[in-house]
A and B are shown apart, each in its own frame.
Chain A
Amino acid sequence: MGNLIKNFFIALRQIFIGNRTYYLWVAFLSFFILLGLSAYIDQLHRGLITTAMRDQVSWGLYISNFTFLVGVAAAAVLLVVPAYLYNFKPIKEIVLFGELLAVTAITMCILFILVDMGQPMRVWHILPFIGAMHFPASLLAWDVVVLNGYLFINAIIAFYVLYRLSIGKEYSMSVIGPLIILSIPWAVSIHTVTAFLYNGLSARPFWNASILAPRFLASAFCSGPAIMLILFQIIRNRSEVEIDNRAIFKIAELIAYAMGINLFLLGAEVFKEFYSGSIHSYPITYLYFGLHGKTSLVPWMWAATLFNITAFFFFLFPKTRENFTTLNLGCLFIIMGVYIEKGMGLVVPGFVPDTLGEIYEYSPTTSEILVTMGIWATGALLYTLLLKFAIPIYTGKLRFETKGRAGMRMSTN
């Protein structure tokens, strides 16, 4: 046990060993983290009035980011399924990085929820037994359960695999097999529950549509893997981890199908709203054409849709899919497109027009943006630090001695 702790701290020290680029990157992220922290402290003192949220639009940038990141976390399953169910070797080699991304994404989700709360010190009220968790009636309570469960599952799997690798052994499927199998429907469930928390509100007709959960999953399976593709290329570039091109192209192909479904579902929504033309179509009218002269979201929505359609075609055709320029462009388009869709295209129109017909155009304040950037920087830093000791273990550079002989052996190439 003592060895375990010692080895853990030795692994942790990897964080402090790096080249100049690494330190610049960490400094860069720390800068934004500090900015975000100072903005958040101001928000703690003055209250959420530092944001642009008001009674009419009571959720904004923070919850948009939360929704987007739950999708990113859920998308780890897009790696798990080919890796473990289909034993597709190129992806099996990199599924660990997807799981670490899931851990990071869930952590960022939790941070976004914490900064959005009016009374963050009271967060313990949401726990069962000590608090008064309103399970199963409240979808937010479900979200707390499934998100923390997912974090737990992925953390266990990732750290178990890393631990076994670090002592030079193979990981045992009988240990993590059940967890991996569990993580597949669990990943689907985290985003379904997040969709349901919007879906269940009859007060907001834009959200109260059965299409929400399928659309969430489809867009999650585009955006998460798109982020992963970019990260994998960076990992491949900056370390000795070998990632087969086939893994990347396979993921891109899966993204194409997910985006196809996403676009189809968008088309279905557009048809239903504009063809039936009831009062309930006002939110989507507001998004794409403006309502009563309020048009601030219109250019964003058209840009997002254009990005998504372009990216779909890039990934659909092998020629553009296997060309790294168009591939990366496609990834960027998807990330931006889905981010806008899940943020401005989902959260804001739920509140516009509000329940009494008022239109309040929400546009985040600098304080909100700084806190958001701070949390993204925290996530980036967390992922960087996780990789900092995961990669050496993965590539075999870092190995621990098992019980018997203490100390660390590090190969010197």
Chain B
Amino acid sequence: MDRKKTGWVLFFAACVTIVISSSVTIAEEQEIPKKFLVPPPPFSPGIFPCSQCHQGMPVDRTPRKLEQMHQDIVLKHMPGGWCFDCHNPNNRDKLRLANGKLVSFEESYNLCGQCHGTILREWKAGLHGKRTGMWNGEKQYRLCVHCHWPHDPRFKPIKPLPPPVRPTDIK
């Protein structure tokens, strides 16, 4: 009688362990599972790697208007924020998430996704962003920064292409 009961207890324990661990695995799979096929980040020529200048440079964490370098970057994103909200002060070749984790520039979407989570979710599903590539094969993704300049991401209005010819003007 006891052995049978022990057998059942062990069986149920095994079931619970399997279920929980697999759900944990599934949950983990939903985090940052795969790499997306993206072109390289659109750096200005010669600007990367940042460490070529910043290696050994003292770090000044005071939020201020930059004067000597990068003064052309005026942040129009995240009111009240400044450079080190996204850039990693200790290693400029990486970006830093809010929880301290570092991400490379090739995976900068994880940084943007911290605030723009719904957009990130849709981007992963293929619903957000420009589509090129093969609809039934390798889809070409783009980094957020390929379309949205992170320092001033709002799209500027562009000149529209000409309107169609009116039917009265078709001779």
Contacts and interface: CB of A to CB of B under 8 A. Distances in A.
A touches B (Cβ under 8 A): yes
Interface of A: 49, 54-57, 360
B167 A56 contact: yes
Interface bin, chain B: under 10
B101 interface: no
B125 interface: no
Interface of B: 167-168, 170-171
B150 to A, nearest CB: 39
A49 B167 contact: no
A300 B167 CA distance: 23
Which interface residue of B167, B168, B170, B171 has the most chain A CB atoms within 10 A? B167
A55 B171 contact: no
A360 B168 contact: yes
Contacts of B171: 49
Contacts of B167: 54-57, 360
Contacts of B170: 49, 54
9 contacts: A49-B170, A49-B171, A54-B167, A54-B170, A55-B167, A56-B167, A57-B167, A360-B167, A360-B168
Nearest to B167: A54
Nearest to B166: A360
A360 B167 CA distance: 7
B99 to A, nearest CB: 51
Given A54-B167, A54-B170, A360-B167, 6 more contacts: A49-B170, A49-B171, A55-B167, A56-B167, A57-B167, A360-B168
A123 to B, nearest CB: 26
A56 B171 CA distance: 14
B167 to A, nearest CB: 4
Contacts of A57: 167
B62 to A, nearest CB: 58
A31 to B, nearest CB: 28
Contacts of A56: 167
Nearest to A54: B167
